[in-house]
């Protein structure tokens, strides 16, 4: 924000307009985008205040975009001036272009994604636009090299104690913001489009294809950049699989209308394993295609990875925060005459300093069919608190522990 403020002071002294369209890519809780909006709002009495000004904040995490919207309201940013969206890092409307792209770039996105960000962000600028990014110092040399190899102009570079700020744009621009020419690349780059085909259309997100074994069952998985469990399934996933095998016939009665909800599937280890496990357990009675699969997560990249890894199945993905808040949306995904799930497996990610256990139980109760099974896999301490708050109407079946994690299964009576 200090660098941007200094740059804007120079721009206004030269009598040049401030940007009208701003993208905060990977916005988190909205700090940068909200500060940009607030800084431009105070220019309201200035002839340089753009009447069509808009800031678009976006993040792959549904919780981040909701908190950004809340924070914008708390800071009295008018709704028409800032919007928040759940999108990949440089996703958004097709053919969208920006006067300024800002990002506190997430290092864990992976170097292929970061390299694409440098090229794609420059391609998404309006004539005269600039990109301003802050990166952790260990990535500074990588960014500087990528900017040079992309034949872009490094307009500004400042080193901080732990971070480095880069401002860049296409060659031909003056060494200050908003003097650049359109991106000169040979292949036009557009905003990343979600909704399926992520690995096909954006190969930089693909990390590796691996072979895995859980509970004696082998499966293959393609993993995605920036999502955990790319080398091995998490302890929570492994303990849930162990519990599933111990429950065996208690878990799901085979039916052409059986429905399965997986909450926070991550890279897709558990749904991919479960797909093979159910196919094995139900032979010769049926095959996995008998089930209705619904995947639900805050992380839209995780949803895309999980859907891709279950490509042979009809899978519905739904972004959202938790089972209680979005229980109507999850129920609407099923047939109106049977809007509940026979099996719910969850890997909840509780937000610090919040208590979501009772609402989670409420969501499970409303979404689970009578006689259906719910399995939650959590760190052992959280699983204990979750189990203690079990409401009436549920019968605890079994539980498993593994390396500090615990999975517990319940039947709705």
Within a domain: 257: yes
Q: How many domains does the chain have?
A: 2
Residue with tokens 């120079």: 10
Confidence of residue 269 (pLDDT cuts 50, 70, 90): very high
Within a domain: 179: no
Give the dihedral sign, CA 314/62/362/347: positive
At which of 170, 189, 216 does a domain end?
Answer: 170
At which of 170, 190, 222 does a domain end?
Answer: 170
Q: What is the pLDDT of residue 255?
A: 66
Within a domain: 213: yes
The residue count of the chain comes to: 413
**Lowest mean pLDDT: which of 15-19, 166-170, 184-188?**
184-188
Are 266 and 378 found together in one domain?
yes
CATH number at residue 297: 3.40.50.150
62: CB partners within 8 A, 6+ apart? 86, 298, 299, 300, 319, 320, 321
Within a domain: 190: no
pLDDT > 80? residue 359: yes
Locate 261 and state its tokens: 């909800």
Are 214 and 354 found together in one domain?
yes
CA distances from 166 to 21, 130, 343, 358, 373 (A): 19, 10, 49, 45, 52
Are 337 and 208 found together in one domain?
yes
Q: What is the pLDDT of residue 185?
A: 43
In angstroms, the CA 244 to CA 240 distance is 6
Q: What pLDDT, in 10s, does the model give residues 223-257?
A: 998 888 888 999 999 999 999 999 876 666 656 67
Confidence of residue 334 (pLDDT cuts 50, 70, 90): very high
Residue span of the structural domain in which 25 resides: 2-170
**Lowest mean pLDDT: which of 41-45, 103-107, 109-113, 400-404?**
41-45
In angstroms, the CA 151 to CA 212 distance is 41
Residue with tokens 């026979």: 342
Within a domain: 177: no
CA distances from 412 to 362, 367, 372, 383 (A): 12, 10, 6, 18
More confident residue, 321 or 285: 321
The mean per-residue pLDDT over the stretch 323-352 comes to: 92
Q: What is the pLDDT of residue 313?
A: 79
Q: What pLDDT, in 10s, does the model give residues 46-60?
A: 555 556 789 999 999
Most confident region among 177-191, 297-311, 364-378 by mean pLDDT: 364-378
For residue 280, give the nearest of 254, 258, 308 by alpha carbon: 254
Within a domain: 252: yes
Are 7 and 108 found together in one domain?
yes
254: CB partners within 8 A, 6+ apart? 282, 285, 286, 290
The mean per-residue pLDDT over the stretch 7-11 comes to: 88
Q: What pLDDT, in 10s, does the model give residues 102-149?
A: 999 988 888 999 999 999 999 999 999 999 999 999 999 999 999 999
Strands of 394-402's sheet, edge to edge? 315-319, 292-297, 259-263, 341-346, 368-379, 405-412, 394-402
The mean per-residue pLDDT over the stretch 74-96 comes to: 92
The mean per-residue pLDDT over the stretch 283-291 comes to: 59
Are 151 and 229 found together in one domain?
no
Are 154 and 260 found together in one domain?
no
Are 248 and 324 found together in one domain?
yes
């Amino acid at each position: 924000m200090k660098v941007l403020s200094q740059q804007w002071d120079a721009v206004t002294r030269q009598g040049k307009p401030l940007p009208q369209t701003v993208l905060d890519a990977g916005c988190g809780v909205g700090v940068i985008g909200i500060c940009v909006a607030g800084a431009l709002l105070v220019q309201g009495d200035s002839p340089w205040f753009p009447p069509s000004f808009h800031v678009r904040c976006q993040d792959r995490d549904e919780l981040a975009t909701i908190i950004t919207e809340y924070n914008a309201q708390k800071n009295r940013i008018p709704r028409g001036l800032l919007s928040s969206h759940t999108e990949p890092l440089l996703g958004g409307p097709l053919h969208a272009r920006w006067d300024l792209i800002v990002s506190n770039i997430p290092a864990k996105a992976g170097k292929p994604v970061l390299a694409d960000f440098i090229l794609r962000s420059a391609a998404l600028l309006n004539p005269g636009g600039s990109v301003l990014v802050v990166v952790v110092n260990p990535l500074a040399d990588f960014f500087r090299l990528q900017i040079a190899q992309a034949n872009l102009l490094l307009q500004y570079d400042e080193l901080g104690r732990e971070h480095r700020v880069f401002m860049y744009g296409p060659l031909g621009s003056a060494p200050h913001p908003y003097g650049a020419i359109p991106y000169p690349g040979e292949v036009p780059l557009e905003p990343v489009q979600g909704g399926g085909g992520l690995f096909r259309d954006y190969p930089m997100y693909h990390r590796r294809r691996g072979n895995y074994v859980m509970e004696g069952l082998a499966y293959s998985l393609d993993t995605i950049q920036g999502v955990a469990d790319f080398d091995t399934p998490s302890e929570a996933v492994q303990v849930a699989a162990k519990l599933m095998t111990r429950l065996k016939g208690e878990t799901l009665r085979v039916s052409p209308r059986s429905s399965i909800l997986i909450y926070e599937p991550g890279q897709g280890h558990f749904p991919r394993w479960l797909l093979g496990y159910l196919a094995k357990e139900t032979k010769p009675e049926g095959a996995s295609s008998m089930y209705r699969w619904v995947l639900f997560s805050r992380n839209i990249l995780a949803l895309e990875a999980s859907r891709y890894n279950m490509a042979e199945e009809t899978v519905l993905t739904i972004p959202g925060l938790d089972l209680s808040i979005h229980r109507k949306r999850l129920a609407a995904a099923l047939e109106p005459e049977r809007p509940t799930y026979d099996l719910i497996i969850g890997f909840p990610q509780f937000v610090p300093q919040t208590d979501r256990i009772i609402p989670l139980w409420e969501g499970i109760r409303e979404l689970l069919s009578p006689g259906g099974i719910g399995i939650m896999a959590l760190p052992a301490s959280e699983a204990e608190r979750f189990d203690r708050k079990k409401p009436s109407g549920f019968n605890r079946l079994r539980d498993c522990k593994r390396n500090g994690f615990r999975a517990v299964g319940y039947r709705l009576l």
